[in-house]
Amino acid sequence: MSRAARKPKSKSLKWYRDKAWELTSKYVRLREADEDGYNRCVTCGITKPWKELQAGHFIPQARGNAIRWDLRGIWPQCLRCNCHLGGNGAEYTCYMLDRFSRATVDDLRRVATTTRIMRRADYEEIIDDMAARLARIALNPGEREPTETQEWQRNHVS
């Protein structure tokens, strides 16, 4: 088979995971940014441009895929809190309890104990969802989407 006739190499599962995280991280940092593009670290309160913050997990993403993609538990954090302070868990817990109910925090902890196998289609769904959310932010820079809290409550609380 000639070089030109070979099938293009398909993208790896890692590529899809990395792309999904790239878009999720960007969305998390932009969703709370003000009209000037500044945002606050949820654990220490420092204000920085959204590009200088990270998307930090309330429950470390090392706990697995079940919690890694849950937007209720991913919020902007500075490098110091997210990496150097290991997520700054005590302050993150305070933030989560102020923003959400105890039941939501407990639900996130419960979900973290479950296993979720991610397939290419799962990552493609995340990529499509985050791309659509980012497009809405780009089209309406002064308007905020409903917060994840409001969206989650609308879908899960009767």
Query: For residue 57, is pLDDT > 60?
Result: yes
Helices (H), the chain: 13-31, 65-68, 79, 89-99, 102-111, 120-139, 148-156
Question: Whole-prediction pTM value?
Answer: 0.82
Percent of the chain with pLDDT over 90: 72
Look at 62 and 145; give whichever has higher pLDDT: 62
pLDDT for res 156: 42
pLDDT digits (tens, 9 = 90+) for 30-53: 998 998 999 999 999 999 999 999
Query: For residue 56, is pLDDT > 90?
Result: yes
Burial level of 56, CB count in 10 A (0-12/13-18/19+)? Answer: buried
- Coil, strand or helix at 54: strand
pLDDT for res 62: 74
C-alpha–C-alpha distance, residues 89 and 73, integer Å: 12
Query: For residue 146, is pLDDT > 80?
Result: no
Residues 6+ positions from 81 with CB-CB distance below 8 Å:
41, 43, 44, 56, 87, 88, 91, 92
Q: How far are the Cα atoms of 22, 33, 35, 68, 103 from residue 13, in angstroms, in the given order? A: 14, 31, 35, 16, 33
Residues 6+ positions from 119 with CB-CB distance below 8 Å:
13
pLDDT for res 85: 93
C-alpha–C-alpha distance, residues 117 and 6, integer Å: 31
pLDDT digits (tens, 9 = 90+) for 71-114: 999 999 999 999 999 999 999 999 999 999 999 999 999 999 99
